[in-house]
Amino acid sequence: MGQCALRLALAPEAHSECYGGGSAFSNNTGARAVLRKSQVGITLMELVIVVTILVMLAGVGYPLYQDQVRKARRTDARSAAMQVALAQEQHFTRQGTYTTVLSATTLNLAGPLRDGKSEAEYYDIAIVADADSFTVTVTPVDGKSQKKDEDCQSFSIDQTGKKSAAAGPEGDASKCW
């Protein structure tokens, strides 16, 4: 490194003789280039690239996240169907018959179950019953995100414990129970 460059690096304003008099910052563009410190910040192009990458990741990631959330909420439907089926069996043991009434007194159900909803209220519960048999069917509530679950449009269980499910046109019901 030359003496001028070393002097400029240490104290640029004190060594004007390196550039023919005057300040190192005056009209000499070469001195400015040597003295410029490392740039701080990002350029507009770098910002555009980063935002583009984030948008692409969000475009792929968010639908996958929504699908995982729908799969996790299926437990709400399975739980509701099993609880109502258990309550039906208890009612049959006490009364000798099954019932179609979802209520706190008839089936000893608590919370949203007695109103025909699953615990998290993503599913509606329906019972079809006669004296010797029943089927509990759980379907997604209209207007909730579970309605978009193509694999599991309904869950059913009967008095024998047989579980079944129905899928949407593009779905696979084998993933439900």
pLDDT score recorded for residue 38? 67
Q: Read off the pLDDT of residues 33-77 as tens digits, 9 standing for 90 and up.
A: 555 566 678 899 999 999 999 999 999 999 999 999 999 999 999
Q: Is residue 14 part of a domain?
A: no
Distances (CA, A) of 62 to 65, 69, 151, 175: 5, 10, 19, 21
Judge whether residue 116 has pLDDT over 80: yes
Would residue 18 count as lying in a domain? no
48: tokens are 């555009």
Coil/strand/helix, residue 138? strand
Asked whether residue 22 is assigned to any structural domain, the reply reads no
Token pair for 35: 């003295």
Quick: pLDDT tens for 158-172.
999 999 999 998 899
For residue 95, give its domain range.
44-175
Q: Residue 27 falls within a domain, yes or no? A: no
Query: Per the confidence metrics, is the pTM higher than 0.75?
Result: no
Q: What is the count of structural domains for the chain?
A: 1
Looking at the domain assignment, is residue 166 inside a domain? Answer: yes
Q: What is the pLDDT of residues 127-145, one digit of tens each?
A: 999 999 999 999 999 999 8
CA dist 145 and 36 (Å) reads 56
**In a domain? residue 140:** yes
Residue 36, domain member (yes or no): no
Task: Answer yes or no: is 53 within a domain.
Answer: yes
Does residue 7 register a pLDDT over 70? no
Query: Is the separation of the CB atoms in 136 and 84 below 8 Å?
Result: yes
